[in-house]
Copies of this chain bind each other. A is one copy, B any other.
Amino acid sequence: MKWDTLDEEPCSLSRTVAVIGDRWTLLILRECFLRVRRFEGFQSSLQITRHLLSERLKKLVRFGILRRVPYSEAPKRYEYVLTERGLDLYPIIMAMVHWGDAHMGDERGRPLLHEHRTCGKLFDPVMVCSECGEALHARQVHVHPGPGRPKAIA
């Protein structure tokens, strides 16, 4: 399996991993969801090297997750905002935050609390079945090959 063709693998997880499956990209996305938009903003809050930040932002733009929007004409300055496709990454980020809250916490408690503005309460994200609405557990799910699965693979 080679990284440069990972986004063409017949596996949706591989394809997602090809786009956001590295540490800096995930942390950059966290900042995006916390409303950070500018190069210096990402750089100072993450302490990422400018070189890598530049590369990762380009990649996220290339995959349509961020849009590079000018906010100043002279000098030319751009900021990076989440596209619809980028906003759809929210469940991934929230699932990771939730796992961290549940399994990597310390005695001080959670670093952040999340309020659902629709209902006004502090909440946890829960993953449910789109059909019956029940909470999902790994052992209740059965996997079938789909139409995009090459026959050669079991």
Contact = CB atoms under 8 A, between A and B. Distances in A.
Interface of A: 1, 3, 6-7, 10-23, 26-27, 30, 33-34, 46-48, 64, 82, 85, 87-106, 108-119, 121-134, 136-149
Given A100-B15, A110-B146, A111-B146, A129 B123 contact: yes
SS class of chain A's interface: helix, strand, loop or mixed? mixed
A7 to B, nearest CB: 6
A105 B12 contact: yes
A130 B126 contact: yes
A109 to B, nearest CB: 3
A12 B97 CA distance: 5
Given A12-B97, A92-B99, 17 more contacts: A1-B46, A7-B104, A10-B111, A13-B93, A14-B30, A15-B104, A33-B138, A64-B103, A91-B98, A91-B127, A105-B148, A113-B144, A114-B141, A116-B140, A116-B141, A118-B140, A119-B134
Nearest to A115: B142
